[in-house]
Amino acid sequence: MSVTVVILAAGEGKRMRSSLPKVLHPLCGKPLVHHVVETAKRLKPDAILAVVGSRKEAVLQALPEGVEAVDQGLPRGTGHAMMRVAEEHPRLGGTVVVLSGDVPLVTAGTLRAMLAHHRRRRAALTLATAVLEHPDAYGRIVRDASGAFLGIREASDAPREILRIPEVNAGIYVMDWGRLRPLLATLRPANRQREYYLTDLASRALGGGMRVEPYILRDPREMLGVNTRNDLANLHRILYAVRASELMERGVTVLDPASTFVDPGCSVGRDTILYPNVHLRGARIGRGCVIYPGNIVEDSTVGAGTILNPNNWIEGARIGKACRVGPMSHLRPGTVLGDGVRVGNFVETKKARLGRGTKAAHLTYLGDAEIGRGANIGCGTITCNYDGRQKHVTVIGDGAFIGSDCQLVAPVKVGRGAYTASGTTVTEDVPPGALAVGRARQRNIPGWVKRKRGQ
C-alpha cells in the first residue's frame, strides 16, 4: 500500500508576530519544517508533499530536497489545504499521513505505530490525541459516556464544558485517502474563524459509517505545536532537556541540563563535563574534555582531554587532544590545533595551523599562519596577513620563539628554532637558528623630567 506524507505549512502563523514564516523559525538550529520533513523521510514514503501558501517564496526556498510543494493560494484552513492536495493530485491513493509543519517533535516510531494501528483496525481515519494538563487552544476530542469517539471541537468555537476536556487533537492523521477524499467537499467554513477545518472530517467520516480511531500518544510531548514564541521556548526547553539526558545516559556529566544547549547531531564523548551555558552546534567533542561556561562550539571537533576555559567562540575549527583553549578566544574557520596546543587568553585565530605543543597564550592574532611544533608565540603577537588587497601567509618553524609584541608582516618565514626579539617588526625571513631584532635602540636622556617639567 502506498504511503504519501502531506505536511501542512501554509498557515500564516499570526500568533508568532514575525516577518519570518512560522514553519521557518529555527528550533535547535533547524527550521521547524525541517524537523517534520526529516521525520517524514524516515517513513520512506512514496512522496512527501508540503502545502505552502503564506509567504510561500520563503518557504519554498527553504524546503529540503525530495519535497514537492502544493500551492494553497490564500490559506483558508487545514481542510482547505487538503482540498488543494486533492485537486493537485487527483490520482493520489493509498494511505496519506498528514503532519503539521509546526508540530516538530513527533517521531517516526510513533507514526509507524499509528500506521500499524490504522491498518489493523481497517480505519478510514486514525488521529493522534493526547491528554494535556493545559489543553489551551488545541482542538478537543469529544467522546460519549462510554468513551466512544464522537468528533473534534476547535477551542475557538467550543463552549466551556468542551474546553474542560483534557484530551486534545494532535493534528497528526493517518487517512485512507480513497474513503476520506470525497468527504473533503462536504466541509464548510461555518465557524468563528470562517475556515475549512480538517478536524470536521472526523465526524463526517463517523456519520458516513466509517471507522475513526483516536490513537493516544504515549509521550504527549510529541504533539506540542508552535503557535507562539512561548511555545517555541517551551519546545527548546524540551528538546535540549532530552538531548542532555541522552548524553548523561552515555556517560557525559551535564551540570545543569536546563542551561546546556546541545543541538541534534552533536556528539560528546564519555566522561566529558559540560558546565552551564555551553552551546554546541555541529560539534564533535571527544572523551574526558572539560567545557567551562560560555563556550559556543560550532561545526568543530575537539579532541579527547581538551579543556575549553570559559567564554570561547569556536567555529569551523579542529582542535587536537589535550589542548587548552581560552579564556576568551575566538577560533575562526580553518583553525587546526595539534595535540597539546595552548591558545588564549584573548587569542584570535583564522586559517591557522598550530603544530603539536605550540603555545600562543596571550593576546594574539594568528591569521593565515602555518606554525610548526613546540613553538612559542609571545604575548601580543600579530600576524599582519592583509595588505589591503590580499591575504598573505606567515610560516613559523618548529621550536621557534616569537618574543612578545612582535608583528610578522606576511608573507614572511621564521625558520626552525629561530628567535625574534620582543617588539620586533619582522619584514624579512629569519633563517633557522637566527635571532631577528628589528626595533629602535633605546636612548635615556638624564634629567629630562626636571628640565622639561620643572619638577
Q: Which residues bind ligand UD1 (CB under 6 A)?
A: 8-11, 51, 53, 72, 75-78, 80-81, 100-103, 138-139, 152, 154, 168-171, 197-199, 225, 227
Complex with ligand UD1: residue 139 or 355, whichever CB lies closer: 139
Q: Which residues pair with 414 in a beta bridge?
A: 396, 430
In the complex, minimum distance from the CB of residue 295 to Ca ion, in angstroms, rounded to a whole number: 35
CB-closest chain residue to Ca ion: 225
* Of 81-89, 99-107, 199-207, 247-255: span binding Ca ion (CB under 5 A): 99-107
Report the distance separating Cα 403 and Cα 383, nearest Å.
13
Cell numbers 514564541 correspond to 229
DSSP 47-67: EEEEEEBTBHHHHHHHPPTT-
SS3 of 424, please? coil
Among residues 25, 35, 279, 362, the one annotated as catalytic is: 362
In the complex, minimum distance from the CB of residue 369 to ligand UD1, in angstroms, rounded to a whole number: 49
Q: Which residues contact 218 (CB under 8 A, 6 or more apart)?
A: 110
* Of 81-89, 101-109, 228-236, 363-371: span binding Ca ion (CB under 5 A): 101-109
* Of 96-104, 253-261, 334-342, 349-357: span binding Ca ion (CB under 5 A): 96-104
Answer with the entry of ligand UD1, Ca ion, none that 191 interacts with (C-beta below 5 to 8 A by kind). Answer: none
Whether the Cβ atoms of residue 180 and residue 124 lie closer than 8 Å to each other = yes
Report the distance separating Cα 19 and Cα 17, nearest Å.
7
In the complex, minimum distance from the CB of residue 156 to ligand UD1, in angstroms, rounded to a whole number: 8
In the complex, minimum distance from the CB of residue 85 to ligand UD1, in angstroms, rounded to a whole number: 10
Whether the Cβ atoms of residue 346 and residue 365 lie closer than 8 Å to each other = no
For position 225 contacting Ca ion by CB under 5 A, the verdict is yes
Report the distance separating Cα 35 and Cα 63, nearest Å.
11
Q: Which residues contact 333 (CB under 8 A, 6 or more apart)?
A: 299, 315, 316, 317, 350, 351
Helices (H), 185-228: 200-207
Cell numbers 635615556 correspond to 444
126: closest CA among 135, 113, 137?
113
CB atoms near residue 250 (< 10 Å): 12
Complex with ligand UD1: residue 199 or 376, whichever CB lies closer: 199
Site string for Ca ion, 232-261 (x = CB under 5 A): ------------------------------
Answer with the entry of ligand UD1, Ca ion, none that 11 interacts with (C-beta below 5 to 8 A by kind). Answer: ligand UD1
Residue 362 appears among annotated catalytic residues: yes
Instruction: Please select the residue that binds Ca ion; options are 45, 72, 75, 102, rule is CB under 5 A.
Output: 102
Answer with the entry of Ca ion, ligand UD1, none that 101 interacts with (C-beta below 5 to 8 A by kind). Answer: ligand UD1
Report the distance separating Cα 38 and Cα 35, nearest Å.
5
4: closest CA among 104, 115, 80, 113?
115
Complex with ligand UD1: residue 78 or 272, whichever CB lies closer: 78
Cell numbers 505552502 correspond to 52
Complex with ligand UD1: residue 227 or 277, whichever CB lies closer: 227
CB-closest chain residue to ligand UD1: 139
Q: Point out which residues bind Ca ion (CB under 5 A).
A: 102, 225, 227
The catalytic residue positions are: 362
